[in-house]
Amino acid sequence: MSAEPGSLKRTQYRLGFWLLLAPIVLWLSLLIILPHIDMVLVSLRERVASRQYEFSFSNYTEFFTEPLYWNTFVRTAVMSIVATALTLIIAFPVSFYIAKVLSGKPKMALFILCLIPFWVSELVRTYGWMILLRETGLVSGALQWLGLVDQPVEMLYNDVAIMVGLIYTSMLFMVVPLVTTLDSLDKSLIEAGYDLGGSSWHVMKSIVIPHAMPGIMSGCIVVFMLTLGNYLTPTLLGGKDSLWFTEQIYTQFITRFNWEQGAAFGILLLVLSSLIVWLGLKITKQSFTRVMS
Amino acid sequence: MRSFRQFKYVTMFAAATAAFSVSAQAETLRLLTWGGYAPQDVVEQFEKETGIEVKVTLSNNEDMISKLRATRGAGFDLAQPSQDRIVSAQADFDIYKPMDLSKIETAKIIPSMLEATKKNTEFDGEVYGVPHVWGTSGLIVNRKTAATVKDYTDLCDDSLSGSVSYRLKRPTLIGFAFAMGEDPFAAYGDMEKYQAILDKVEEKLIDCKSNVKAYWSGGDALLNLMRSGEVSAAMAWDAGGWKLNAESPDITFVAPESGALGWIDTFVLPRKTKAEDAAYQWINFVMQPDVAARITESAGNFTASKGSDDFVNDTLKAQFKESFPQADLDNINWYPPVPAGLEEMEGKVLDRVKAAN
C-alpha cells in the first residue's frame, strides 16, 4: 500500500515536467526547427521551368561563384564585427561606471537612461538619425549656422552612418550583461589589487576584465547576431551603397520571387554566423554554457 | 467526466465562433491594392450601399505576387497587379483565377483598354485581368535646378552630381534602354539580345552611380527628397510629379523624349478568393464615372472608366495636358507582358549595379 502514493506522486511529477516542457518544445519545433527544415528543402531546389523544380545544389554554388554575394557577406560580417567591438569599447566604461562607481538612486537613474531609447521602436530611432544627418537636417544646419561649413553637408548614406546607427541600436544589449557581471564583482577585490601595488591598468587587466569575460562574450554574441541580422538600419541609413546580406535575402524572396536562392542565403547566413561566434569563443577560450549562464 | 463535459462545451463554443466568423467573413472584401486606389470616402459609400465591409491592404507589384505566392492565392479576395506582371506570375505560381467577364459591366470601360488588357492577361485561353487605373513613369524635374533633363540618360549629366534619384527596379532598366536607343520590348522574346541590352544599361547605370543621391523605394520618400531640394531630378511616376507641382510650380512631371513608360493596373481574382461576388460588385462600383473620378483625384492617375474625365477637377487635367502634349501621348511605350525568366536576368543586373562603387 505504501508504494502506491509514491508512484502516483512520481507520475504526477513526470506529467508536470512534460507539461512545463511542452510550450518550449512546441515553440522550438513549430516555429524554429520545422521552418528551418523547410528552408533547407526549398534551398535545395532549382527552378527548371514554370512550376517545375529539380533537386540541385546550384543555389549554394551560386553564392560561392558569384563574387557579388560572397563580397556582400564578407562586408556584412566585417562591419558587424567592427560594430560589436566599437559597442564594447563604448559600453564598457559606461557599464563600469554604473556598476562600480555609482550606487543607489543615481545608479538606477543612469541605468534607466540607457534603457529609455528602447521604448520607441527601431524604425523610429532610425528615422531620428535620418532627420539629424540628412543634407537638410539638424547637424548640417547647425554646422552652417556656426559658420563651420558654407554649404549643406550630406552625412547620410555612407558606412559611417550605418555604423553609428548599428552601435546606437545595440548599445543596450551590451550594457545589460556587462552591468550584471560587473555588479557581481566584489569591490574588495579591486581594493586588494590596489593595496598590493597594482596600477589602474593592471587591476583592470588582471581582475576586472577576467571577471567580466562571460558578460563581455555574451554581450558580444547578442550584439553581433543582432547586427548581422539587422535589416532596417543598414538599408535606411546606408542608401545606395548599403549592401547588407539580409537585404540580399529580402530581395531574393520579395522582389525576385527566387525563394530557392533566398532560402540558400538564409541557411548560409545561419551557418556562417554560427561559425564566427564559435571562432570568437575559441579565441577567447570561453565556453558557450558559461557565457550564456 | 465533468472536465470532459466542460471540454465538450468549450469545443462546441469554439466551433460555433469559428462558424460565425466564417459567415461574417463572407461579407468582407479583402482588397490588395495600391495607395490611393481605394480612398476612404469611396469605401464608405460602397459599404453603405452593399453592406459589404472592405479591408484595404496597400502593396506594390512584387509584394502582391509574394504575398499571394506564400499562401498559394489565399488571404485576399481581389488584387490589383499591373497587366504585364500577371501572366508570368500565373505561369510560375498559379495564384490567380480567371475572370468571368459576363459579371462585369464592360460597357463602363474604355473599349481599347479593355481589349489591350484582355490580350495581355490571357493565359491558357482564359482572361485574368480587367483594367482599372493607368499612368506612366517618366521624369520628375525641378525646372530651376535641372532644366536640362529631357530624357532618362540626362540624369547622368555631370552637372547633377549627387542630386538624382531613381529606383533599382525593372522600370529603370527599361527606361534607360529606350533612352540609349534600344527597344527592350522588341527583345523580350530573344534572351540573348535582351542580355546584350541589359549589359549596356548596366554599364551606364554603374557610370551614373556617383550622380545618385539614394535609390528610392517608397513613393513618399522620393517626394520628400524632391520637396527638400536634396534631389533635383528623378525617375518616377507621373502622379507624384503632379502632386509636387500642386505644391511648388517649379517641380513637375516630364515625359522623356524616348517615351514615357505606360502601365495599366488591373483587377484580378486570387485563386482562393472567398468573396468573388463582392469582388465583382466592387469592380462595377468603382467603374462608375463619378466614383472613378474620385479615385483619380486620390491616386493622381486616370482610370479606364468611360466618361470619368468629365468629373475630374481642372487642375489635374491641366497638369496632364502640360506633361502630355498629343505627340508625347502617342510616344508612350506600353509594357507588354513579361516572359518568365526575364526578371531573373534583370535581378542580377540590379544586384551588380547596387554593389558597384
User: B2-133+263-320 has which CATH code?
Assistant: 3.40.190.10
| Residues whose CB is less than 8 angstroms from the CB of residue B278 and which lie 6 or more positions away in sequence, other chains included | B27, B28, B29, B50, B52, B77
One-letter amino acid of A222 = V
Listed ranges A28-32, A252-256, B9-13; the one with the highest mean pLDDT: A28-32
Average pLDDT, stretch B321-331? 87
Please state the rounded mean pLDDT for residues A261-267. 94
Examine residue A153 and state whether it is found in any structural domain, yes or no.
yes
Q: Please answer yes or no on whether B92 and A257 come within 8 Å at the CB atom.
A: yes
Find the angle CA(A23)-CA(A32)-CA(A53) to the nearest 5 degrees: 140
Cβ–Cβ < 8 Å for B290, B62: no
Q: Does A17 reside within a domain?
A: yes
Q: Rounded to a whole number, what is the distance in Å from the CA of A87 to chain B's nearest CA?
A: 27
Q: Which residue of A has its CA nearest to B351?
A: A68
Whether A154 has its CB under 8 Å from any CB of chain B: the answer is yes
Model confidence pLDDT, tens digit, residues A190-243 = 999 999 988 889 999 999 999 999 899 999 999 999 999 999 999 889 878 778
Look at A226 and B4; give whichever has higher pLDDT: A226
What would the DSSP string read from start to end of B185-237? TTTTT-HHHHHHHHHHHHHHHHHGGGGBS----SHHHHHHHHHTTS-SEEEEE
Decide if A157 touches B, using CB distance below 8 A.
yes
- What's chain A's length in residues? 293
For position A258, which CATH number holds? 1.10.3720.10
| Interface contact flag, B215 A136, Cβ < 8 Å | no
CB distance B213–A239 less than 8 Å?
yes
Nearest to B233 by CA among B149, B161, B171, B177: B149
Structure confidence by residue, pLDDT tens digits, B5-30: 555 554 555 555 544 444 444 589 99
| Amino acid in the structure at residue B72 | R
Domains B2-133+263-320 and B135-262+333-355 share a fold: yes
CA distance B234 to B247: 17
Q: Which of B94, B213, B351 sits opposite A51 (nearest CB)?
A: B94
Q: Please determine, for residue A34, whether its predicted confidence score (pLDDT) is greater than 50.
A: yes
Report the first-to-last Cα separation within chain A, whole angstroms. Answer: 44
B249 or A12: which leads in pLDDT: B249
3-state SS, residue B338: coil
Nearest to A136 among B169, B230, B352 (CB): B230
Q: Which residues of B touch A50 (CB under 8 A)?
A: 91-92, 340
> Which chain B residues touch A if contact means CB-CB below 8 Å?
62-63, 65-66, 69, 89, 91-94, 162, 169, 209, 212-215, 228-230, 340, 343-344, 347, 351-352, 354-355, 357
Cβ-proximal residues to A126 (8 Å cutoff; 6+ apart), any chain: A165, A169, A232, A233, A236, A237
The percentage of residues in chain A with a pLDDT greater than 90, rounded to a whole number, is: 46
ipTM, two decimals, is 0.78
A214 conformational bin, left if phi > 0, alpha if psi -120 to 50, beta if neither: alpha
**Residue A183 belongs to a domain:** yes
DSSP string, B314-337: HHHHHHHHHH--HHHHHT-EEPPP
Tell me, yes or no, whether A90 and A138 share the same domain.
yes
Question: B165 near B212, Cβ under 8 Å?
Answer: yes
* Residue B146: half-sphere exposure toward Cβ, Cα within 13 Å: 33
Question: CA of B94, closest CA in chain A: separation in Å?
Answer: 8
> Does residue A45 belong to any structural domain of this protein?
no
Beta bridge partners of B126: B123
Q: Is the pLDDT of residue B104 over 70?
A: yes
From the CA of B312, how many Å to the nearest CA of chain A?
34
CB contacts, 8 Å: B91 with chain A: 50-51
Helix axes B170-179, B342-355, angle to 10 degrees: 90
Residue A60 grid coordinates: 549554394
DSSP 3-state assignment of B96?
strand
Task: Kindly indicate the confidence band of residue A5, based on its pLDDT and cuts at 50, 70 and 90.
Answer: low
* pLDDT tier, A35 (very low <50, low <70, confident <90, very high otherwise): very high
Verify that A275 and A205 share a domain, yes or no.
Answer: yes
Provide the pLDDT confidence category of residue B45 given band limits of 50, 70 and 90: very high
Q: What values do phi and psi take at B212, rounded to 5?
A: -80, 130
Question: What is the per-residue pLDDT for B176?
Answer: 96
pLDDT value, residue B13: 52
Cβ distance B357 to A241 less than 8 Å, yes or no, reads yes
**Contact by Cβ (8 Å): B307, B289:** yes
User: pLDDT, tens digit, for every residue of A152-175?
Assistant: 888 888 899 999 999 998 999 999
Task: Return the percentage of chain A with pLDDT > 70, whole number.
Answer: 97
Q: What is the pLDDT of residues B265-280, one digit of tens each?
A: 999 999 999 999 999 9
Contact A50 B340 (CB under 8 A): yes
Beta strand pairing call for B96-97 and B269-270: antiparallel
pLDDT-based confidence at A11, cuts 50/70/90?
A: confident
Asked if pLDDT for residue A280 goes beyond 90, the answer is: no
Per-residue model confidence (pLDDT) at position A10: 77
Q: Is residue A41 part of a domain?
A: no
Domain layout of chain B by residue ranges: 2-133+263-320, 135-262+333-355
Asked if the model's pLDDT at residue A1 lies above 50, the reply is no
d(CA B324, nearest CA chain A) in Å: 31
Instruction: From chain A, pick out residues whose CB is under 8 angstroms from the CB of B92.
Output: 47, 50-51, 257
Mean pLDDT over the full length of chain B: 89
pLDDT tens digits along B163-187: 999 999 999 999 999 999 999 999 9
Which of B61, B62, B224 to mutate to probe the A interface, most A CBs <10 Å? Answer: B62
Backbone angles phi, psi at A52, to 5 degrees: -120, 125
CB-CB neighbors (< 8 A) of A241 in chain B: 357
CB-CB: which of B229, B344, B357 is closest to A256?
B344
Q: Smallest Cα–Cα separation from B64: which of B97, B29, B89?
A: B89
> Which pLDDT does position B90 carry in this prediction?
92
pLDDT at B1: 41
Report the pLDDT averaged over residues B327-341: 88
Nearest to B69 among A136, A239, A257 (CB): A257
| Same domain assignment for residues A5 and A106 | no
Give the closest of B89, B215, B343 to A256, CB-based.
B343
SS3 B235: strand
* Cβ atoms of B159 and B173 closer than 8 Å: no
- Nearest chain A CA: its distance from B348 CA (Å): 9
For residue A61, being part of any structural domain is answered with yes
Give yes or no: residues A99 and A143 share one domain: yes
Answer yes or no: do A63 and A14 share one domain: no
CB atoms B228 and A135 under 8 Å? yes
A37-53: per-residue pLDDT in tens? 999 999 999 888 778 88
> Could you give the number of structural domains in chain A?
2
The residue in chain A having the minimum alpha-carbon distance to the alpha carbon of residue B209 is A240
Average pLDDT rounded to a whole number, residues B82-96: 92
- pLDDT classification of A7: cutoffs 50, 70, 90: low
Contact between B243 and B303 under an 8 Å Cβ cutoff? The reply is no
Q: Which residue range forms the structural domain that includes residue A63?
A: 57-292
Count of A-B CB contacts under 8 Å: 60
Domain co-membership, A26 together with A170: no
Max distance between CA atoms of chain A, in angstroms, equals 95
A34 residue type, one letter = L
Contacts of B93 in chain A (CB under 8 A): 51, 257
Nearest residue to A111 (alpha-carbon basis) of A94, A124, A125: A94
How distant is the Cα of A252 from the closest Cα of chain B, in angstroms? 9
Cell numbers 482599372 correspond to what residue? B132
pLDDT for A240: 80
A129 and A66 share a domain?
yes
pLDDT > 80? residue B254: yes
A52 reaches B (C-beta below 8 A): no
Chain B interface, mutation test: which of A38, A252, A257, most B Cβ atoms within 10 Å?
A257
Q: Are residues A75 and A24 part of one domain? A: no
Same domain, A124 and A21: no
In a domain, A65, yes or no: yes
* Residue A47 domain flag: no
pLDDT digits (tens, 9 = 90+) for A58-91: 999 989 998 889 889 999 999 999 999 999 999 9
- Give the whole-angstrom CA distance, residue A86 versus residue A89: 5
Q: Tell me the chain B residues in contact with residue A135 when contact means C-beta distances shorter than 8 Å.
A: 228, 230
Model confidence at A293: pLDDT above 70: no
Tell me what percent of the residues of chain B surpass a pLDDT of 90.
68
| Nearest chain A residue (CA) to B212 | A240
CA distance A263 to chain B (A): 14
Candidates A248, A255, A258, A265: best to mutate against B (most CBs of B within 10 A) is A255
CA–CA separation, A196 vs B121, rounded Å?
85
**Range in A126-130, B36-40, B216-220 with the lowest mean pLDDT:** B216-220
Helix (H, G, I), strand (E, B) or coil at B263: strand
pLDDT score for A67: 87
Instruction: Indicate the helix (H) or strand (E) that contains B236.
Output: strand B233-237
B328: left (phi over 0), alpha (psi -120 to 50) or beta: alpha
Superfamily of chain region B135-262+333-355: Periplasmic binding protein-like II (3.40.190.10)
Q: In chain A, what residues touch B229 (CB-CB under 8 Å)? A: 136
The pLDDT assigned to B342 comes to 87
In this structure, are residues A248 and A63 in contact, taking their beta carbons and an 8 Å threshold? no
What does the alpha-carbon distance between residue A44 and residue A87 come to, in Å, rounded to a whole number? 37
Query: Are A17 and A62 within one domain?
Result: no
Do B228 and A157 count as a contact with CB atoms less than 8 A apart?
Answer: no
Cα distance between residue B76 and residue B64, in whole Å: 10
Task: Round to whole Å and give the CA distance between B175 and B185.
Answer: 11
